[in-house]
Amino acid sequence: MKRRTFLLALSTTLIVAFSSAQTPEPPSILVSRQLAETEGLAEGDVVRLALDAAGAGARPFRIAGVYEPTPDPMRLGTVPREVRMHLPDLLALTSDDDAPTGAEHVARINIALADPANARAFARSVNGRAPGVFARRAAATGSASTFVVLERFHLAIAVVTIVAATVFLLALTIMLVDERRETVGVLRLIGLPAPRILLQVLLEGLLIASAGALFGLALAWVSEGLINRFFQWRYNTALIFVQVTPRVAALCVAIAVPLGASATLAASWALMRRGALRLARR
């Protein structure tokens, strides 16, 4: 009978050995997709788990299913080869036979409330009733606070980028409008008032800005799929690296279109202040 063993990443190092031997009603476990793909495991296979590297004291388990681990940016680059089992089975596998019953300890428990708005009140109640227990919202943990700092840093970069792009756009628009000064001068000479010309320029700027915003969204949508597929393949994870949500798309359009139209209008207003004869002559 052939047997294979391999290391499995859990809170402690386990040895997994699987074979075709049948055991009476072995407990059920779940294995991560990455582990199943690496070791060729499938639903219904019987594996043996042990704490000892030599496989001593191994217990049989039947694979009830394969699951996709929850994507965690803090573990990016680490392939999650994991096993999930029922708590009594885990205690029976990892507990010392000489340890008294109930001597196990739990470092952290996640609790989902029916109403997330009561999280602060629930944390205060637990802290007041259970000495030695510290309850806090999951959003206040170290990893969450790290991403809050990153979000603010990205916001600062975005603001600086938008301001710099607006200045560049304004300078470019001024040069483009200045190339049309002869056309504007002719329109002024034939009797078109300055507000009428400015309205036409504004509509033209809105059209160009809208087309540019739609092109940018289409490019972002195509890039989103390519970037996600590449990095998900590279790191063997289901983590979404780039996501263009409707809120993000609406925000981009709300920023791009008014800025483009305003830059065109500002450049044209500077041109309208010149005399018609001065504009028409070369």
Residue 64 placed within a domain:
yes
Last residue of a domain, one of 60, 94, 128: 94
Asked whether residue 27 is assigned to any structural domain, the reply reads yes
Residues 249 and 178 in one domain: yes
Of 60, 75, 94, the position where a domain reaches its end is 94
Of the candidates 76, 94, 112, which is a domain's last residue? 94
> Are 181 and 263 part of one and the same domain?
yes
Residue 131 lies in a domain: no
Q: How far is the CA of 266 from the CAs of 252, 275, 276, in angstroms? A: 21, 17, 18
Q: Number of folded domains in the chain?
A: 2
Asked if residue 10 belongs to a domain, the reply is yes
- What tens digit of pLDDT does each residue of 58-114 get? 888 999 999 988 887 777 777 788 888 888 888 888 777 666 666 667 777 788 888
- Position 55 pLDDT exceeds 80: no
Do 161 and 271 fall within a single domain?
Answer: yes
Most confident among 83-92, 145-154, 192-201 (mean pLDDT): 83-92
In which residue are the tokens 């002869």 written? 182
Full domain range(s) for residue 65: 4-94
In a domain, 124, yes or no: no
The model scores a pTM over 0.75: no
- CA atoms of 136 and 123, how far apart (whole Å): 6
Residue 105 lies in a domain: no
Q: Residue 99 has what DSSP assignment?
A: S
pLDDT in tens, 219-269: 999 999 899 999 988 888 888 888 888 998 998 888 888 888 888 877 777
Q: Is residue 138 part of a domain?
A: no
